[in-house]
Amino acid sequence: MTWALKEAEKAYLAGEVPVGAVLVRDGSIIARGYNQVEMLKDATAHAEMICLTSGSVACDNWRLLDTTLYCTMEPCSMCLGAMLLARIKKLVWGAPDLRHGANGSWVDLLAQKHPTHTIEVVRGVEEAACADLMRRFFQERRNDRTIR
């Protein structure tokens, strides 16, 4: 999660919502991603999506079998759906996302057995650090009246 937090810090410094992700296979990071929605002007440019795409390139395969995705925030429905489709083995996330979280905070896409794939999930890893970065980001945005 330390490396996912470093990716989230990149997003923070770029003025993006500070979410970061890393994809690990056999104990090595094979892909990284951080939110780039504003920079790319693309609502799908979430940290997890960028990481999964990079992982597919690194593996030369869309099936990301035997990988673990570490993400600083609970994934949204788009990202969790992509993880199911990519066949990641394990998801480790930090802080819950009460507005968009698709692993129990808003909805739980994994509550029912998926017909083709199951993802092992570990929740709340480095939750305080992940949540603090998000809190600081939005507090600064609220205090800066020049940002709309």
Q: Take residue 30 and report the two structure tokens written for it.
A: 């094979």
> Would you put residue 53 in left (φ > 0), alpha (ψ -120 to 50) or beta?
alpha
Question: Nearest-CA neighbor of 67 among 112, 31, 15, 20?
Answer: 31
| 8-state DSSP, 103 | B
Q: How far apart are CA 9 and CA 24, in angstroms?
A: 19
- Going edge to edge, which strands form the sheet with 90-95? 28-34, 20-25, 67-73, 90-95, 120-122
Q: For residue 108, report the phi and psi dihedrals to the nearest 5 degrees.
A: -130, 95
Q: Is residue 74 among the annotated active site residues?
A: no
Beta bridge partners of 108: 103
From the candidates 7, 48, 74, 126, which is the catalytic residue? 48
Q: Write out the catalytic residue numbers.
A: 48
